[in-house]
Amino acid sequence: MGLEEKLPEGIITTQLETLVNWSRENSTWPLLFGLACCAIEMIATGSSRHDISRYGSELFRASPRQADLMIVSGRVSNKMAPVIKRLYDQMSEPKWVIAMGICASAGGPFNNYAIVQGVDKIIPVDVYVPGCPPRPEGLLYAMDKLRAKQGKDNFRTYANLNASPAPATPEDIESLETLRQPQRA
Amino acid sequence: MLNVSPRQRPYETLPGLTPLGIPAVAPLPAGESDDTQRLVERFGDAILAAGMHHGQQVVYVKPEQLVALAEFAKSDPKLQYEAIVDVSSVDRSELPADGARFHAVYQLRSYARKQHLMVVCPADEGGDPEVPSLAGVYKGAIWPEREVWDLMGVRFAGHPDHRRIMMPESWPNHPLQKQVPVGGEEVPFTLTWSDPEFESFGKQVMAAESLPPVVPPGMSRENMIINMGPHHPSTHGVLRLVVELDGETVVNVDPDLGYLHSGFEKTGENKRYKDFVYYTDRMDYLSAMSNNLGYCVTVEKLLGIDIPERAERLRVIMAELQRVASHLFWLSTHALDVSGTGMALLMYATRERERILDLFEMACGARLTVGYMRIGGVSRDIPPAFLGHLEEFLRAMPIRISEYESMLTHGPLWEERLRGIGKLTRDEVINMGLTGPMLRGSGVDWDLRRDAPYSGYEKYDFKVPVFTEGDSYARYLVRMEEMRQSLRIIRQAIDNLPDGPYRVEDRKVTPPPRAELDVSMEALIHHFKLMTEGFQVPPGMYYHGIESSKGELGFFVYSDGSAKPYRLHVRGPSFNNLYAVSKMSKGAMLSDIVTNIGSIDIVLGEVDR
Ligand code: SF4
């Protein structure tokens, strides 16, 4: 309190953690990546009427290296599962996952040989959005939930991350052992 | 392998739900037509049966003569079956019928004579079931035959590229065979913290191991081989293309499908007829209404019911709105891929598309996966305000289409990227079994709405745009004009929309209205029977194609007389159309592949099913 009164106008003080979280909350870049029907609603969320750029998330990045958020928008087939896994591994920390729709959350209507019953079997999920497909409003609400979660992050979470270093070679990424390692402390 | 569990879901084992004593069926034709007569005269003993079945020409032929028959049907001036539109198969092991276990089913089409012919060929037993491949006669058979091999396990002798197409090469079985279980997981009905299932529930970490990359046959390691997709922004989903490049020139393209294979057909065979309507939404999710329509019309044909006029008109309104919505989406993503004005166009086109989705929402409560149609009509009547909003949309839309055209049609960038790219001649598109705008962009004057009318399309006055250039630009013009024609059709449908019921009154397929349940015991029984058992469809088989926004969307239903389809096959137009991408891209630049994919207009949900 005391310090702020003495500072010239236009300068505020805050904690570094809060500042970092604040900026992460307001510019979470999703991975440009669509799977099935839900992807169409994701695109609708990104375009004119629903306008995801109000959340600072309009930049859908095609490269996983530049993305913070993976929106798993649709059903995950057995053939696609390794690809999703690898994309997730290629994203740099901190990273978040939204399972959009019932297929990504739990397999949905496709309880059969072809579909993985929930993407949480291959990557950790932060927010689940119910719906088939969720409306754009639903996805925006999920973004809100995610922001709340991002706001509570602290640096200590990431300090321990080196316990599971990023796998180096494709062979490492794909082996069962790396999948079993805890992704986050 | 992941996820294959031999367990059935509990409701399927409840007594009384699967009627025993299924009649022994091999849907046999009766009567004859000129075409079947001609084939019988020519092939004599090799024809096992021939004639009409549910109003369709069907020929059963011995495998030895299959190729000869196809060649004859193609070249004979009196038959002219120039194209193959679909190949499917039936595993008859659960039918109490004799004869070969597998039947391969071919759909031939004559564009010149507007005729359709179904050819059924029992597979040779002994070792792997096998039929001769038609790939030498029709290029359009290559991919569908691979699909049959992959999913059903029927070999095609002499096939030039006999690989799996959907499932990974290491997949242990052919999922559509009847002895293979549906798979999936048994979900506990109730779950408490003390249940042992909870230990693992939602926590299993599954093996997600990739297969080592293989160089597709026909590609040489001398050149550069790159991988496009399945995570690539301009493949419109999860399509993977393996591209062989010499510098920047494309030498060879090998599409790798199946990244969105969701087992629709197998699921359909385990659902009651009425329950599968909602799955069709999720196949081509950009034209859910058309998918609903195609499925409902097919089952109605087998049931032999006619639906009320109002329902028919409502269906046409919805299907045409959906065509506009789908073309708008195609336009915006295509423009985004190839042209500089893309992002603006995406925003504009989405604006109009949202208005259509609003209309859908008014009618049925959902935006994308609508599930609006029912076997026997539509699920509910349109609300009173619907028509007013629709009128407003019809007034605004032509101006919008002109706006888009003014942004694109004569834009130098647009022309440069589209003109002369992905050229296909008339003979090629027919031989490859392409449909929809792919046909009409290459000079084939064919539209199922006009040439094999369903759902009352013969009552509408509309033009079928045809361009002869065969390049991406021609296909662009076709689709733009189709949007205008769709608006015309909607206009006529509104003007002639009669009052009356929106669903057949037949209590066998339509549940009684809610109010009736309180006063009538009979209604209650009907309702109960319909909800628990569904309705039974008489034995037989039927193929029906409709003109969806991407081309011919066909449903093949093989019924054994029970409440579930014995075999359900979907001919996804994008699947057959995508076959052309190799031909279109060979010799072109790498960047033209993007144009070609956009110009084919694929939806992966439908390609992979
Ligand atoms: S949740 Fe529904 S809409 Fe989303 S991918 Fe699955 S089936 Fe499609």
DSSP-assigned states of every residue in B392-436: HHHHHHHHHHHHHHHHHTT-HHHHHHHTTTT---HHHHHHTT--T
Contact between B286 and A87 using a beta-carbon 8 Å cutoff? no
Tokens of B479: 């689709």
Q: Where are the domains of chain A?
A: 28-155+166-171
Secondary structure class of B124 (helix, strand, coil): strand
Question: Which residue among A79, A87, A132 places its CB closest to the CB of B168?
Answer: A79
Q: Is residue A168 packed enough to be buried (19+ CB in 10 Å), middle (13-18) or exposed (0-12)?
A: exposed
Q: Where are the domains of chain B?
A: 34-157, 264-304+307-503+538-569, 505-536
d(CA B97, CA B444): 42
Which protein residue's CA is at the shortest distance from atom 8 of ligand 1?
Answer: A37
**Looking at CA atoms only, how far is residue A120 from chain B in angstroms?**
7
| Low-confidence spans in chain B with pLDDT less than 50 | 1-25, 201-205
Are B558 and B565 in contact by the 8 Å Cβ rule? The answer is yes
Looking at residue B324, what is its pLDDT? 92
Specify the amino acid at residue B61.
V
Which protein residue's CA is at the shortest distance from atom 3 of ligand 1?
Answer: A133
Does the CB atom of residue B491 touch ligand 1 within 6 A?
no
Question: Which residue among A62, A107, A179 places its CB closest to the CB of B205?
Answer: A179
Looking at residue B293, what is its pLDDT? 92
Contact residues for B120 (Cβ-Cβ < 8 A; gap 6+): B58, B59, B60, B61, B103, B104, B105, B106
- N residues, chain A: 185
Helices (H), A30-154: 37-46, 81-90, 101-106, 136-151
CA dihedral B1, B3, B7, B10 (to 10 degrees): -170
d(CA B107, CA B576): 13
d(CA B473, CA B408): 11
Q: Nearest-CA neighbor of B374 among B361, B385, B363, B383?
A: B363
Residue range B195-216, pLDDT digits in tens: 665 555 444 445 555 556 677 7
Number of H helices, E strands in chain A: 9, 3
**Looking at CA atoms only, how far is residue B444 from chain A in angstroms?**
31
Q: Nearest-CA neighbor of B298 among B19, B14, B585, B568?
A: B568
Most A CBs within 10 A among B189, B259, B336, B356, hence the mutation to make, goes to B259
CATH annotation of B34-157: 3.30.460.80
Quote the ligand 1 centre to B494 CA distance (angstroms): 32
Other beta carbons within 10 Å of B419: 14
Tokens of A84: 């999703």
Most B CBs within 10 A among A33, A52, A78, hence the mutation to make, goes to A78
Residue range A99-130, pLDDT digits in tens: 999 888 888 888 888 888 888 878 888 889 98
Other beta carbons within 10 Å of B340: 11
d(CA B358, CA B385): 12
Tokens of B155: 């070999």
Looking at residue B62, what is its pLDDT? 85
Which protein residue's CA is at the shortest distance from atom 2 of ligand 1?
Answer: A132
d(CA B265, CA B268): 5
Q: In what order do the strands lie in the sheet with B115-122?
A: B47-53, B56-61, B115-122, B102-110, B83-91
Q: Please tell me the number of Cα atoms within 13 Å of B470 on its side-chain side.
A: 15
**Looking at CA atoms only, how far is residue B206 from chain A in angstroms?**
6
Residue range A22-39, pLDDT digits in tens: 888 888 888 888 888 888
Q: Nearest-CA neighbor of B437 among B538, B305, B327?
A: B327
Q: Is residue B512 packed enough to be buried (19+ CB in 10 Å), middle (13-18) or exposed (0-12)?
A: middle
Specify the amino acid at residue B264.
F
Tokens of A126: 């932060």
Secondary structure class of A157 (helix, strand, coil): helix
Which residues in chain A are closer than 8 Å to B233, comparing Cβ atoms?
32, 62
Q: Nearest-CA neighbor of B134 among B57, B79, B81?
A: B81
Most A CBs within 10 A among B262, B271, B357, B609, hence the mutation to make, goes to B262
> Which residue among B357, B367, B369 is best mutated to probe the pocket of ligand 1, counting the most ligand atoms within 8 A of its Cβ?
B369
Question: Which residue among B1, B232, B259 places its CB closest to the CB of A77?
Answer: B259
Secondary structure class of A169 (helix, strand, coil): coil
CATH annotation of A28-155+166-171: 3.40.50.12280
d(CA B521, CA B516): 9
Element (H, E) at B476: helix B472-495
Task: Annotate A98-135 with b (16+ C-beta within 10 A) or e (fewer).
Answer: bbbbbbbbbbbbbbbbbbbbbbbbbbebbbbbebbbbb
d(CA A44, CA B147): 33
**Looking at CA atoms only, how far is residue A147 from chain B in angstroms?**
24
Tokens of B503: 């669903």
Q: Which fold has domain B264-304+307-503+538-569?
A: Cytochrome-c3 Hydrogenase; chain B (1.10.645)
d(CA B334, CA B345): 10
Other beta carbons within 10 Å of B495: 8
Q: Is residue B162 packed enough to be buried (19+ CB in 10 Å), middle (13-18) or exposed (0-12)?
A: middle
- Give the global pTM: 0.86
